[in-house]
Structure 1
Amino acid sequence: MSWEKEIKAFGYYLKIERSLSENSILAYRQDIQKLANFMEKNFPEVLPERVQLYHLRQFVNLLGEFSISEFSQARIISGIKAFFKFMLYEDKIEENPSDLLEAPKLTRTLPDTLSYAEIEEIFEAIPLGEPEGHRNRAMLEMLYSSGLRVSELINLKLSQYFDDIGFLRILGKGNKERLVPIGKSATKYLSIYLKEIRAHQVIAKGHEDYVFLNRRGKKLSRVMVFLIIKKTVEKAGLHKKVSPHTFRHSFATHLVEGGADLRAVQEMLGHESITTTEIYTHLDRDYLRQVLDDFLPGK
């Protein structure tokens, strides 16, 4: 069994058995290719089914020597574990050599967020006198009010929007569906964009169902959304690095600060595990500490 053959089979497994996106599959394959390159250079006689924990630890040590971040190391190790689970699942190995492989302990940093005032400043900086302005306002309103990922935003289709009940049917990571409510302000600006702007566009073939379109009538790219946000933030005069994910983090933070149930936030964000959502409880504790300091001096 060659590394090339097994990595290709692993890709098919991720697509068919686990229904991962093309981007996720590519990332997994690239990480295993790093291991394959290491093994072929240092242990050329060891094929995938003969890899031992000793080899994997040497590979991980090398990652540390190359100053690869702990987050990247953890991701690569996660990919290695998934690969050897696949090998075990396919009866290509009898024992999993990655079972005792440890990932570096991650220092979890709290995500950047925007205050209510900063979000309003960004929204107000969008020129509604231009056709793109109404589209951009609707987009940013939806990123914030529904906590969408940028990939979910650019791939959003008209058939996924139920304006009568105010919900979106989102196809998230791993092709998992979830229903997400859309805020009143976002609904207002989305309605204006759809009726006053998009309805009068010449739409490119194959893009008829996408909600957000560029001037050529095609769906927006991730890069375009990042550029729109960067330009708008600069116009608002904010000296912060803001990305589409910043709106998602702000959405979750403001919900938790407002007392929203963590399970409900998990459902709206589309987190598979509640532990991913729990990072926002730390933000909430900071908020509570600030309230204590502001209103209970000396305590």
Structure 2
Amino acid sequence: MKSWNKFIKSYQSYLKIERGLSKNSIDNYTFDVQRLCDYLSENQMDVSPLVIGEEEVQGFIYAVSKQVNARSQARIISGLKSFFSYLIFEDYRENNPLELIESPRIGRKLPDVLSLDEINALISAIDLETNEGERNRAMLETLYGCGLRVSELITLRLSDLFFEEGFLKITGKGDKQRFIPISEFTQKYILLYRQTVRSHLTIQKGFEDTLFLNRRGRQLTRAMVFTIIKNLAVAIQLDKVISPHTFRHSFATHLLENGADLRSIQLMLGHESIITTEIYMHIDRKRLSEVMNAFHPRK
């Protein structure tokens, strides 16, 4: 399967250099291509990516469909289509073996949204008698107040804070940077954490500029932030499955419900496409009716 490895590496370089994708995104794009390669190897099908046809790919999709749900199956098909489209783009192939393979129909799955009362209850459940409590409150206020991804939260630096101007500098997917507004309310809790907790930590070399630190003076992990939020949900007996992303989704949803426009929300979330932003927005029928009645000339 050396030929597959060669083209997978070439595809990874394309995604990094031409598309500017992050390592995580590149890994996601190539995971399913590697999965197809493994399937061919396991079934002793010695066929290169340049000549593989619809029949072999269909067999792989059928085998995978017994192991994963429709959403994962659709993602796999999409990822493989992208890989073979790249091969066509580079003139390695003339056709895409997935051209006639349809993705399973799936509903648009939206994460739970937290109400303002639920957000307040979660933050109120934090034990502020501990140093971690002050940090955790500042983190959750930043997640909800600025709509950050968890990766953006844990890599936030002191040098990214422009409080006098009222902005944060965020480095998002593909190392793309954006400035987003931060309220004085959120600034207050970050400053409190910095003054009362962070300033007393022994900070490890290389993390002097990292804002949110663990007790050992190092950057927090994504898993730690997930655990903090899940434990708070258990503490208040919240009957919802939540994660750091729930705060980001709630940030966008609450802005929309209170009259913000999609374009502004798109810029704050750091979405390249407005279509991605629309997926976050689940406007109920009542609100749609209100918009129609308020703005249509034939009302």
2:141 is matched by which residue type in structure 1? E
Superposed CA offset, 1:184-215 (max 9, x none): 32111001111221122111001111110000
Deviation at residue 168 of structure 1 after TM alignment: 1.2
Q: What TM-score results when the alignment is normalised by the length of structure 2? A: 0.89
* Counterparts of 1:212 and 1:289, CA distance in 2: 40
| Residue number in structure 2 paired with 1:288 | 287
Instruction: Identify the range of structure 1 (128-137 vs 229-238) with the bigger mean alpha-carbon deviation.
Output: 229-238
Q: Secondary structure at the match of 1:86?
A: helix
Q: Is the 8 A contact 2:112 2:240 kept in 1?
A: no
Q: Which residue of 1 aligns with 2:89?
A: 89
Q: Runs of 4+ in structure 1 displaced over 4 angstroms?
A: none
Say if 1:160 and 1:40 are closer, same or farther in 2 by CA, change over 3 A: same
Shift of 1:287: 5.7
Please show how residues 68-217 of structure 1 align to structure 2 within 5 Å.
68-217=68-217
Q: How many residues align?
A: 290
8 Å Cα contact 1:71-1:106 kept in structure 2? yes
Task: Check whether the contact 2:207–2:218 (CA below 8 A) recurs between aligned residues.
Answer: yes
**Shift of residue 162 of structure 1?**
0.9
Q: What SS class does the counterpart of residue 223 from structure 2 fall into?
A: helix
Q: What displacement does 1:135 show?
A: 0.7
* 2:30 match: 29
SS in structure 2 at match of 1:94: coil
State, as a whole percentage, how many aligned pairs show the same letter: 51
User: What is the CA deviation profile of residues 69-107 of structure 1, one whole-angstrom value per residue up to 9, with x for unaligned ones?
Assistant: 122112212221221122223322233333444322221
Deviation at 1:171, TM superposition (A): 1.2
Structure 1 unmatched runs, 5+? 292-299
Contact 1:262/1:277 (8 A) holds in 2: yes
Aligned position for 2:251: 251
Aligned residue in 1 for 2:297: none
SS in 2 for 1:168: strand
CA distance in structure 1 between the partners assigned to 2:67 and 2:161 by the alignment = 45
Moved more, 29-38 or 81-90: 81-90
Distance 2:8 2:181 in 1: 40
Aligned to 1:55: 56
User: After alignment, is 261-270 or 79-88 more displaced?
Assistant: 79-88
Aligned residue type for 2:30: R
8 Å contact kept, 1:207–1:219: yes
* Structure-2 separation of matches of 1:286 and 1:208: 49
Contact 2:29–2:79, Cα closer than 8 Å, also in 1: yes
Q: Residue 236 of structure 2 corresponds to which residue in structure 1?
A: 236
What residue identity is the alignment partner of 1:207?
F
> Which one-letter code corresponds to 1:142 in the other structure?
T
Q: Distance in 1 between matches of 2:108 and 2:171?
A: 27
Query: Is 1:7 paired with 2:8?
Result: yes
3-state DSSP of counterpart to 1:164: coil
- Which secondary structure does the structure 1 equivalent of 2:170 belong to? strand
So what's the TM-score if we normalise by structure 1? 0.89
Q: Is the 8 A contact 2:80 2:98 kept in 1?
A: yes
RMSD: 2.2
Q: Aligned with 1:191: secondary structure?
A: helix
CA distance in 1, matches of 2:286, 2:144: 19
Is contact 1:85-1:96 (8 Å) kept?
A: yes
- The answer to whether the 8 Å contact 1:256/1:280 transfers is no
Alignment partners' CA distance in 2, 1:101 and 1:119: 43
Give the match for residue 18 of structure 2: 17
In structure 1, distance between residues paired with 2:184 and 2:89 = 48
Equivalent-residue separation in structure 2 for 1:286 and 1:133 (angstroms): 39
